[in-house]
Amino acid sequence: MNYRRIVILTGAGVSAESGMGTFRDNDGIWTKYDIEDVATPEGFARNPVLVHDFYNARRRALGDAAPNPAHLALARLEKAVAAAGGELLLVTQNVDNLHEKAGSTNLLHMHGELARVKCDACGVAGAWEGDLDAATECWRCGRVGALRPDVVWFGEMPYGMDAIYERLSACDLFVSIGTSGEVYPAAGFVMEADMAGAHTVELNLEPSANARGFREGRYGPASEVVSQWVEDLVAKLGS
């Protein structure tokens, strides 16, 4: 099958083997922290020190993290699809930068990025490498304490939704990788793609909460399963 319009969704599982940690697995991030405390605007208003400490630690971890074979395979696939005259949009729920480190370029961070901050007072947003604290001044408006991680918290609208739904409604292949299917709107993308008549594939360590919504599933560590699946698809491109 010669797929031309591909949408791929990734979640924490694609970065697990790079040491970034998943959320809902046995030793996941949400077993150690309360979502309400560190991933909501209300939690930030209540205790900005705790929220900054949480994201500072995760931002620091970015420096040591390297893409694994799954990230590299997806970057290779983007180039192969383009060379065959098609287009691949990679939508990630991850706030790490491992897809870009691997070389993916047509990439949308729907839950924001650890390496960016934004100002709640004036709205400016930009790249940020170091720590952030409640005394940090906004570089544009000068307000102290209004800078926050540019990540999407629960209760906030994910980024790029119009573009994502437009691409889902016209895709012929949708692939979901390393995500538990617990968090909407991302968990609903497979239904959109299915309604568009796309082939749908889940690649995950084990079947996710909405595995039955996919036409095909391949299970195992992303470094192995994604690499093999990409190899199989690239062999078929242009045929």
Report the 10 Å Cβ neighbour count for 5: 18
Which residues in 103-122 contact ligand OAD (CB under 6 A)? 111
Q: Does 206 bind ligand OAD (CB under 6 A)?
A: yes
Minimum distance of ligand OAD from residue 53's CB (angstroms): 16
Nearer to ligand OAD, 17 or 87 (CB): 17
| Rg from Cα positions in the chain | 18
Is 199 a residue of the active site?
no
Nearer to ligand OAD, 86 or 149 (CB): 149
Report the 10 Å Cβ neighbour count for 225: 21
Q: Which of 125, 183, 191, 237 binds ligand OAD (CB under 6 A)?
A: 183
- Please give the C-alpha separations between residue 26 and each of 20, 30, 40, 61, 188, in angstroms, as whole numbers: 15, 9, 22, 20, 24
Task: Name the residue whose CB lies closest to ligand OAD.
Answer: 13
Looking at residue 43, the DSSP 8-state letter turns out to be H
Q: Does 221 bind ligand OAD (CB under 6 A)?
A: yes
The Cα 53–Cα 228 span in angstroms is 38
List contacts with ligand OAD (CB under 6 A): 11-13, 16-17, 22-25, 28, 39, 93, 111, 152, 154, 178-180, 182-183, 204-206, 208, 221-222
